[in-house]
Every structure is written in C-alpha cells, then in structure tokens.
C-alpha cells in the first residue's frame, strides 16, 4: 500500500512515520526545501499539558520526533509566565536531524514539490498533481492521503487579513503559496476568527542573537529566558488579541518583552516596531531573523481548516485524512505531532480495509482531538484556540484529571487502556 502525505511540517513528518511503521510505502511531499514548516522557528515543547501529551505519545509508540526534540534541546525545565517545565529545542539544528531520521526509516522525502490539483474517483482521491522544482510535472497515486499543509499563506491571505506579507519562514514567494487539497475537492472549510477578522496572527518572532547586547545574550544562553519590563507607553493589548497562540496572551506578555532561547532569541509577541525596539536598552542593534518584517506584522494562520471526525478523516472523502492546523485550531508542535501520528496510522488502516482508530478521551490526546472538533462546531468555537499548554483546553484537561507530569503514571494509564505501542507497529524503535 502507498500513503502520500502532503506537507512536511511536524504533522506531516509524524504522519509519514506512523504510516511507515505500519509497513506502507510513504511519500512525503514538501513545498519548500526544508521540512518542519513553522517548526523551523518554533522551539517550545513539554510546557504545561504538552508534557502529558508528549509522554502519552511516547507510550502509544509514536515518540520518535519527541525524542529528537529532547536530544536537540538547549534548555529543559524552563518556567516563564503562565508556563511550567518547558523545553526549548534548537531550531537551527533540528531539521537535518528529522530529515535523516525519516529517510533512514524508509520515508521517501520529496522536497520542492508543490501539489496543486487532485484526481477524484467517486468519493476517493486517486492521485495528486503538481510540480517538482520549477518545471517538472509530477503525479502521485496512493491508497490514502494525509493533508498536513497548514493554514498559513499564501501572501494574499496575509495581505487581506493581516498586515501584509511579513516574509516569514514559509517563503511563499520562493516556493509558491499553500494550496488546500480539501478545498480543491470542493469541501467547505472552516476559518478561525479574531474579533471581526478572519484567521489569527502568528504569535512570536525571532531576533538574531548576535544583534542583542552581550549581557542579554549571556543571560539567554545560561537561563533560556530573559524578561525585560516595558515602559507603559510601549505596551500593546491589541497585539495580544491578534495572536494565534492565546495561551501566551497574558498580561505579563503585554508588560514585558519575553525572550526564549531556541538558537535564535524567540520574542514572544506577533510583531514589534523595530525603531521602537531599538530604543530599549540591550536592543539597540536588534535585527529580525523571522519574519524579516517582524517590525510590521506576521503570518496569518487558521484559514482553511478541514471538517473531520475523531479519526481525523476529512468529511466527504473516503481516503483523505488531515493533521496539524488542518485538523482544527490546534496551536503548537506537540499538537501537530499528535494529530499527524494518528492521521498517518489511520490512513494505513483505511488502505488495508480496517477500521480507523479513535483515541479514547480518557487520555489527553484523545480528549483534545474530540474537544477541538466539538468546540469548532459551536458558533463561538471558531473564535477560540485549542492547545495543551493553555487556554480552555488546558483548563478542561486539569478539570478532568488528564494533566500529569509523572511519565510512569502516564505510561500506566495507556497500558491499562491496552494501547501501549499501538501507533508504533513492528518497525518502531528508539530515535537516534
């Protein structure tokens, strides 16, 4: 059987691995010249309920990518406003590690391959079509497909709903903008709302470390965290409301500049005018690494979410699954890996003629998948964000007793459910 995964971010990489572990031939198609998508500039994991979800996925047999993150961590156990026991991976080094692991696992990685059209046969996808590089036409047939293309871009979306193209890591101008496979089929997709706007703005920027003062860099390198209080006239409540990641929309992020060390200096705000930033001690020479126009704006996300069930199958198509932000207003790398792992697993189940798996809502991952779907079907649900690390999902996790930080306790719960290693398959093994 052949599984095609469209989109090589964290969700797509996870889907490719679980599908491969089930014995499928897996083709991972990525529009740009690098994997991980926004994971190339993210870097935060294991904070708050993401710790629980991470350990659940390891127990379920889909922990390889988290082990790579752990190996690539610059800091562990970092506490910053509203967040406990965070780990920060090095965004500069992680992509080659992930790519090598996928290739060694037998995943066929096709970079600079942009899918733009679909062939339908009845209620199933027969093949996807596009271009490899600038000229070569490509066509990929498969038994089942996973769409993990994300919800950010192309530039007209950022122009229409944001502050214009901020020249982010997605590099739409270089490799072509995102194309939604579900929309190409004619499926009516969903979009998040932020007040009267569609979508939401990415919530952080990257500053080049070398452009900051020596004292800031030293503190960042040693602690993983720097908090710089802002004068009252430089605070902006409006920017917090724009953020895709509402778990960081706390008063502390309005009153201070919060930097995290992910190889670059991760600035926890959607954007900050450069001429004002350079007036703050230590930031006199500050320069943005991502997005390049981080003084003006950031990418717009959560436009083009697929309607799906709790197996992550897209409604109306028999052999298409979705993962990452395509599967809901789910914020974060951990959330992407969780949905990607299940989508890849279930794509192979469908291809084999077997029933897809629904993870029980007695574990955090299963609960999050159901919770996000149910919430988005409510009129007000598209104005909210869902993440293990904060906001309403984390609060619901805690109220249901799903938040745990003892790996042994988490493994035992998965074992009692009879799900230990279920996503791994016979080819699973430790990351290296």
CB 82 within 8 A of CB 203: no
Query: Residues for the chain: how many in total?
Result: 432
CB 1 within 8 A of CB 351: yes
Q: What is the pLDDT of residue 134?
A: 72
Whether the per-residue pLDDT at 236 is higher than 70: the answer is no
Domain boundaries along the sequence of the chain:
2-198+300-416, 200-290
Whether the per-residue pLDDT at 52 is higher than 90: the answer is yes
| Predicted TM-score (pTM) of this structure | 0.95
- The string of pLDDT tens digits covering residues 354-391 is 999 999 999 999 999 999 999 998 878 998 889 999 88
Q: What is the pLDDT of residue 378?
A: 87
pLDDT-derived band at 11, boundaries 50, 70, 90: very high
Exposed (0-12), middle (13-18) or buried (19+): which is 197, by Cβ within 10 Å? middle
Q: Half-sphere exposure (CA, 13 Å, Cβ side) for 266?
A: 26
59 secondary structure, DSSP code: H
Q: What is the pLDDT of residue 123?
A: 95
Average model confidence (pLDDT) for the chain?
93
- Topology classification of domain 2-198+300-416: FAD/NAD(P)-binding domain (3.50.50)
Q: What span, in angstroms and rounded, lies between the C-alpha atoms of 151 and 175?
A: 16
- DSSP β-ladder status, 108-110 and 25-29: parallel
pLDDT-derived band at 308, boundaries 50, 70, 90: very high
Q: What span, in angstroms and rounded, lies between the C-alpha atoms of 259 and 242?
A: 19
The residues, any chain, with a CB within 8 Å of residue 322's CB and separated by 6 or more, are: 146, 147, 148, 182, 306, 308, 312, 314, 339, 343
- The string of pLDDT tens digits covering residues 269-285 is 999 999 999 999 999 99
């Amino acid at each position: 059987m052949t599984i095609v995964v469209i989109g090589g971010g964290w969700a797509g990489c996870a889907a490719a691995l679980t599908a491969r572990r089930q014995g499928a031939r897996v083709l991972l198609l990525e529009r740009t010249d690098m994997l991980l998508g926004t994971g190339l500039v993210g870097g935060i994991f294991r904070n708050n309920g993401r710790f629980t979800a991470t350990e659940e996925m390891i127990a379920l047999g889909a922990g390889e990518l988290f082990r790579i993150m752990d190996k690539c961590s610059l800091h562990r156990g970092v506490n910053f406003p509203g967040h406990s026991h965070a780990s920060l991976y090095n965004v500069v080094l992680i992509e080659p590690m992930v790519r090598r692991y996928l290739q060694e696992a037998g995943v066929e990685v096709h970079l600079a391959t942009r899918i733009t059209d679909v062939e339908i046969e009845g209620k199933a996808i027969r093949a996807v079509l596009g271009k490899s590089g600038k000229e070569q036409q490509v066509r990929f047939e498969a038994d089942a497909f996973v769409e993990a293309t994300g919800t950010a871009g192309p530039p007209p979306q950022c122009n229409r709903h944001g502050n214009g193209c901020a020249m982010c890591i997605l590099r739409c101008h270089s490799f072509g903008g995102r194309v939604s496979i579900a929309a190409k089929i004619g499926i009516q997709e969903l979009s998040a709302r932020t007040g009267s706007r569609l979508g939401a703005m990415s919530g952080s920027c990257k500053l080049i470390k070398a452009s900051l003062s020596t004292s800031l860099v030293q503190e960042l390198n040693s602690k993983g965290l720097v908090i710089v209080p802002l004068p009252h006239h430089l605070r902006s409540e409006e920017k917090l409301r724009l953020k895709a990641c509402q778990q960081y929309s706390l008063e502390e992020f309005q009153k201070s500049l919060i930097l995290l060390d992910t190889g670059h200096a991760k600035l926890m705000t959607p954007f900050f005018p450069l001429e004002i930033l350079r007036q703050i001690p230590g930031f006199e020479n500050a320069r943005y690494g991502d997005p390049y126009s981080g003084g003006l704006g950031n990418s717009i996300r959560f436009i083009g979410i697929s309607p799906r069930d709790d197996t992550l199958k897209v409604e109306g198509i028999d052999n298409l699954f979705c993962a990452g932000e395509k599967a809901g207003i789910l914020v974060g790398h951990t959330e992407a890996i969780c949905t990607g792992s299940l989508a890849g697993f279930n794509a192979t189940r469908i291809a084999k003629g077997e029933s897809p798996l629904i993870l029980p809502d007695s574990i955090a991952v299963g609960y999050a998948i159901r919770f996000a779907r149910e919430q988005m079907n409510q009129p007000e649900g598209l104005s909210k964000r869902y993440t293990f690390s904060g906001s309403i999902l984390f609060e619901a996790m805690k109220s249901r007793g799903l938040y745990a930080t003892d790996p042994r306790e988490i493994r035992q719960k998965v074992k009692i459910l009879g799900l230990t290693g279920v996503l791994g398959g016979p080819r699973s093994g430790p990351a290296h």
